Amino acid sequence: MAWFDDLKTPRVQKQDTTSKTSRVPEGAWSKCNECGEIQHSRILSSNFNVCPICQAHGRLTAWERIKLMTDEGASDFKEYGASLISKDPLEFDDTVPYRVRLEKSIGRFNQNDAIIAGKAKINKIPYHLAVFDFQFMGGSMGVVVGEKVAMTMAGALKDQIPAVIVCASGGARMQEGVYSLLQMAKTSSLVSQLKKKGIPMITLLTNPTTGGVAASFAMQADVILAEPKALIGFAGPRVIEQTIRQKLPEGFQRSEFLLIHGFVDRIVHRKNLKKELSDLLWRLGMRTCRFGK
Ligand SMILES: [Zn+2]
């Protein structure tokens, strides 16, 4: 059994997906959090981080998501608001000062905040797209994230084309205090302007969409899509159980539960996302949008 002794144990590593280009090293393996199967990272990466065994939807960076939701690998994605940086309005000082945490995340992920926004095309349909990046401070919404969500919807209003926002967020950014809470009102007011003009607005809720993001524009869209088994809710289950003094049902706050109870309109598998979203944008916007320009 000499050959058996020569077998190498696979190296399991966490997905590192921090830049526009794939940085999957040769021979790297990843373990699925749901089924525990070990997959070659290259296979997972080509499958948009969906486990081929159990179909669990792993996390994507903002740029990976943009590539998935645009034509020709995001080559015609026109980003805006990239230079916006939070000024730390409260000069929030925790164990690690907010400014230091922010600078660290900016350096590490090579982007200025937890969202990327721009104008894109999906199956030749122009639209405005904003994508949260959970790896950047848990996708929390401070002034920059709120402003870029608002810019996305304002762009949709101006160009008369739909707006799509992909959410992945722990909620408001507590280090920006009331300024982060104001983003809920600001983004909600843009949603109502879109509604008045009949411009479609769609949100895609991914794992997790919670707190102030779930409590504002994410749940106000014309169509609310969700990824399978995504955690969606305002407060965490433990807080709710303590408040209402009841045990929560199984699967509470997951996409499938919310679909049954009418909070989510449709659950979309990542492999069908491009087609389903472009069909939806076309049908919703054919009367009110200017797709020809
Ligand atoms: Zn799996």
Ordered domains of the chain (ranges, CATH) = 1-56 (no CATH), 59-285 (3.90.226.10)
Q: How far apart are the C-alpha atoms of 221 and 202, rounded to whole Å?
A: 5
Q: Which of 135, 13, 20 is nearest to 68 (CA)?
A: 20
Cα-to-centroid distance, 58 and ligand 1 (Å): 9
CA 231, 264, 77: angle at the middle one, nearest 5? Answer: 80
List the alpha helices (DSSP H) in 162-251: 177-197, 211-214, 237-244
Q: How far apart are the C-alpha atoms of 30 and 51, rounded to whole Å?
A: 10
pLDDT of residue 80: 98
Cα-to-centroid distance, 45 and ligand 1 (Å): 14
pLDDT of residue 16: 47
For the chain (293 residues), the mean pLDDT of every run of 10, in chain order, is: 58 50 63 92 91 95 96 93 96 93 97 98 97 98 98 98 98 96 98 97 98 97 98 92 94 96 97 97 94 73
The Cα-based distances of 106 to 92, 112, 130 in angstroms read 17, 5, 18
The Cα-based distances of 111 to 16, 40, 64, 116, 204 in angstroms read 15, 28, 14, 8, 22
Cα-to-centroid distance, 135 and ligand 1 (Å): 21
pLDDT of residue 219: 97
Q: Which two tokens stand for residue 127?
A: 């639209």
Q: How far apart are the C-alpha atoms of 8 and 57, rounded to whole Å?
A: 28
pLDDT of residue 18: 47
> Which amino acid does the sequence have at 157?
L
Q: Which of 138, 141, 166, 191 is nearest to 70 (CA)?
A: 166
Cα-to-centroid distance, 48 and ligand 1 (Å): 13
Cα-to-centroid distance, 39 and ligand 1 (Å): 9
CA 208 distance to own-chain centroid: 8
Backbone angles phi, psi at 118, to 5 degrees: 180, 180
Cα-to-centroid distance, 257 and ligand 1 (Å): 20
Q: Which of 155, 116, 110 is nearest to 139 (CA)?
A: 116
Residues in the chain: 293
pLDDT of residue 12: 54
**What pairing do the DSSP bridges indicate for beta strands 29-31 and 38-40?**
antiparallel
What contacts 24+ positions apart, CB below 8 Å, involve 98-106? 98/175, 98/176, 101/137, 101/175, 102/137, 105/136, 105/137
> Which amino acid does the sequence have at 273?
L
What contacts 24+ positions apart, CB below 8 Å, involve 286-289? 287/198, 288/160, 288/197, 288/198, 288/199, 288/200, 289/160, 289/161, 289/162, 289/199, 289/200
Cα-to-centroid distance, 46 and ligand 1 (Å): 15
